[in-house]
């Protein structure tokens, strides 16, 4: 655990007076100190150090958030908003100490409006709870980042993506409006319960994806959709990853856009089978595509699956398996377990570079080559349909293992950027990917972003040290 410093250069400390004031705002039970803060010192980023907060504060409503921020701003204390801490880039970790503002008590689903196709939620609502609530009313929230225990506030702040992005897009495509507390304590509302807006700068979209560096999201209006009739999965094994990925553009050109196209390699399949204690039909194959289809009814699903299956066979698939209903759900659950399975040994790390879809095969090939050149074992998996490749190198058990990992990451980010991609497709920058972002952003763009940050947050108290340094 990193040493706790109650005060950093330029920042105020969480003094006894501040603690009293915080208790006055959120109540005794809403303030944690000492060892009870351990769980707030890290997120799910692998191999990252833990940083103890000065204090954990759990507001119950927007006005309490506003008062905490005003106090922090006056005393120049860093504030790190936190959802469920499932992030993979260290974004919710208080690297400069100060206040961790945990949104866990703000977990009410305020409204599911069946006539307006919207849900209005507090930021601490867990994604799984939202999905259940909207489904019970015959509606659908299609964004599906793999971790259902994440909060909607965290999803908004990281612009979470996931497996359904090919068809539906990512979180920002479903955020219609926000309420947010600024570091000054002012509360603003952006957007609303409408789906079109052409009225000045779009602050909803600016705050979405800002990783808690601009404001604290205190309410979210989300767009909903009618649910699909049927979901099916086409599993297509190939004898090489290259062949599998080369098939993707052909699938995307079909008349029906799949909800997602995931790719898996044999090694990743094997560790996951061991992890879940169950074998899959793709056990023995080098690489496989998992193509997720949504259709109005069984007949349509059968037709689409058969078209997609035939196309895969034409592009070199060795076989094709189609799963519906429970079986399809099991396969999707299996896919979600791939990262936890890879990560379980504690030596895996992950980059989630995104590249233009036309370059995905070349990117995967070159990333694999880089892993050989550097001498680092790697798992490759991810969202083949949207160009977002999850690259998981395993820390080699050799004296220069850490240096090899750093070299590999450097090469992979450079490669992705050289192909017109971006550092992160869905997990965000946090503090762990900050050096890579800073090395690839054009100076004018970085400078503009810093000026935007300071317009919101002149004292740089909001999640300082994340995305870029001021
Ligand atoms: C097994 C596993 C699988 C995953 N799969 C995916 C995936 O497929 N796609 C994907 O996109 N992500 C995935 N993730 C990453 C993670 O679930 C997402 O980044 C998620 O959006 C984080 O939500 P959270 O509530 O845990 O946020 P946290 O980790 O607590 O915080 C993330 C960021 O949001 C900020 N934040 C949180 N709440 C607020 C608020 N109210 N106001 C302002 N800022 C706030 C924090 O300051 C931080 O910067 C996965 C994680 C795991 C562990």
How long a stretch of residues is the chain? 470
Summarised one tens digit per residue, pLDDT across range 267-311 is 999 999 999 999 999 999 999 999 999 999 999 999 999 999 999
Q: What is the pLDDT of residue 8?
A: 65
> What residues line ligand 1, using a CB cutoff of 6 Å?
43-44, 80-88, 91-92, 103, 123, 145-147, 150-151, 153-155, 157-158, 160-162, 211-212, 216-217, 339-340, 426-427, 463
SS3 label, residue 227: coil
Give Cα separations from 175 to 81, 93, 375 (angstroms): 19, 25, 42
Q: What is the pLDDT of residue 222?
A: 98
Q: Which of 47, 58, 72, 83 to mutate to test the pocket of ligand 1 (most atoms within 8 A of CB)?
A: 83
C-alpha dihedral sign at 271, 260, 437, 464: negative
**How much is the CA Rg of the chain, to the nearest whole Å?**
23
Residue 243 has a CB neighbour count (10 Å cut-off) of 18
The residue assigned the tokens 């501040």 is: 18
Give Cα separations from 336 to 5, 54, 233, 357, 383 (angstroms): 38, 34, 14, 22, 12
Give yes or no for a contact between 126 and 220, defined as CB atoms under 8 angstroms apart.
Answer: no
**What strand order describes the sheet that includes 175-181?**
109-113, 118-121, 216-223, 175-181, 187-191
Distance 290 CA to ligand 1 centre (A): 24
Distance 336 CA to ligand 1 centre (A): 15
Instruction: Give the residue, by CA position, lying nearest to ligand 1 atom 39.
Output: 153
Q: What is the pLDDT of residue 7?
A: 52
Q: Which residues contact 65 (CB under 8 A, 6 or more apart)?
A: 59, 101, 106, 181, 216, 218
The residue assigned the tokens 């599998």 is: 244
Summarised one tens digit per residue, pLDDT across range 266-279 is 999 999 999 999 99
Instruction: Give the residue, by CA position, lying nearest to ligand 1 atom 32.
Output: 154
Summarised one tens digit per residue, pLDDT across range 219-254 is 999 999 999 989 999 999 999 988 999 999 899 888
**What strand order describes the sheet that includes 31-32?**
31-32, 55-57, 99-102, 79-82
Distance 71 CA to ligand 1 centre (A): 26
Distance 299 CA to ligand 1 centre (A): 37
Tell me the C-alpha distance between 463 and 80, whole Å. Answer: 5
How much is the pTM? 0.95
Summarised one tens digit per residue, pLDDT across range 30-82 is 999 999 999 999 999 988 899 999 999 999 999 999 999 999 999 999 999 99
Give yes or no for a contact between 122 and 218, defined as CB atoms under 8 angstroms apart.
Answer: yes
Distance 85 CA to ligand 1 centre (A): 6
Tell me the C-alpha distance between 330 and 376, whole Å. Answer: 32
Q: Which tokens sit at 362?
A: 């070349």
Distance 369 CA to ligand 1 centre (A): 31
Summarised one tens digit per residue, pLDDT across range 328-351 is 999 999 999 999 999 998 899 999
């Amino acid at each position: 655990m990193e040493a706790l410093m109650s005060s950093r250069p330029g920042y105020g400390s969480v003094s006894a007076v501040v603690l009293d004031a915080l208790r006055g705002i959120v109540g005794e039970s809403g303030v944690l100190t000492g060892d009870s803060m351990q769980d707030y010192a890290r997120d799910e980023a692998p191999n990252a150090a833990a940083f103890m907060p000065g204090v954990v504060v759990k507001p119950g409503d927007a006005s309490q958030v506003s008062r905490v921020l005003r106090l922090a701003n006056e005393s120049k204390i860093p504030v790190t908003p936190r959802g469920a801490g499932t992030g993979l880039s260290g974004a919710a970790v208080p690297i400069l100490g100060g206040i961790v503002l945990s949104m866990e008590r703000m977990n009410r689903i305020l409204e599911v409006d069946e006539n307006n196709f919207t849900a209005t939620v507090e930021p601490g609502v867990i994604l799984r709870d939202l999905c259940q609530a909207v489904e019970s009313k015959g509606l659908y929230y299609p964004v599906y980042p793999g971790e259902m225990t994440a909060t909607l506030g965290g999803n908004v702040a990281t612009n979470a993506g996931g497996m359904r992005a090919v068809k539906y897009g990512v979180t920002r495509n479903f955020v219609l409006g926000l309420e947010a507390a600024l570091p000054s304590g002012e509360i603003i509302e952006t957007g609303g319960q409408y789906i079109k807006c052409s009225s000045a700068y779009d602050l909803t979209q600016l705050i979405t994806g800002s990783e808690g560096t601009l404001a604290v999201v205190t309410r979210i209006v989300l767009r909903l959709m009618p649910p699909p009739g049927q979901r099916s999965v086409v599993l297509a094994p190939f004898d090489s990853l290259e062949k599998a990925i080369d098939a993707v553009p052909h699938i995307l050109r079909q008349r029906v856009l799949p909800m997602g196209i995931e790719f898996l390699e044999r090694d990743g399949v094997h560790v996951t089978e061991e992890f879940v204690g169950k074998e899959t039909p793709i056990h023995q194959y080098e690489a496989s595509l998992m193509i997720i289809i949504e259709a109005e009814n069984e007949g349509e699903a059968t037709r689409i699956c058969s078209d997609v299956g035939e196309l895969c066979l034409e592009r070199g698939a060795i076989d094709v398996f189609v799963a519906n209903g429970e079986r399809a759900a099991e396969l999707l659950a299996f896919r979600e377990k791939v990262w936890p399975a890879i990560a379980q040994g504690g030596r895996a790390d992950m980059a989630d570079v995104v590249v233009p879809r036309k370059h995905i095969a070349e990117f995967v090939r070159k990333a694999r080559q880089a892993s050989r050149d550097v001498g680092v074992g790697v798992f490759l998996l991810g969202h083949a349909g949207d160009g977002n490749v999850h690259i998981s190198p395993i820390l080699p058990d050799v004296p220069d293992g850490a240096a090899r990992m750093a070299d590999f990451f450097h090469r992979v980010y450079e490669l992705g950027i050289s192909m017109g991609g971006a550092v992160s497709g869905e997990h965000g920058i946090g503090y762990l990917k900050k050096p890579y972002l800073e090395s690839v952003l054009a100076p004018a763009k970085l400078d503009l972003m810093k000026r935007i940050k300071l317009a919101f947050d002149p004292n740089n108290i909001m999640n300082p040290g994340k995305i870029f340094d001021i």
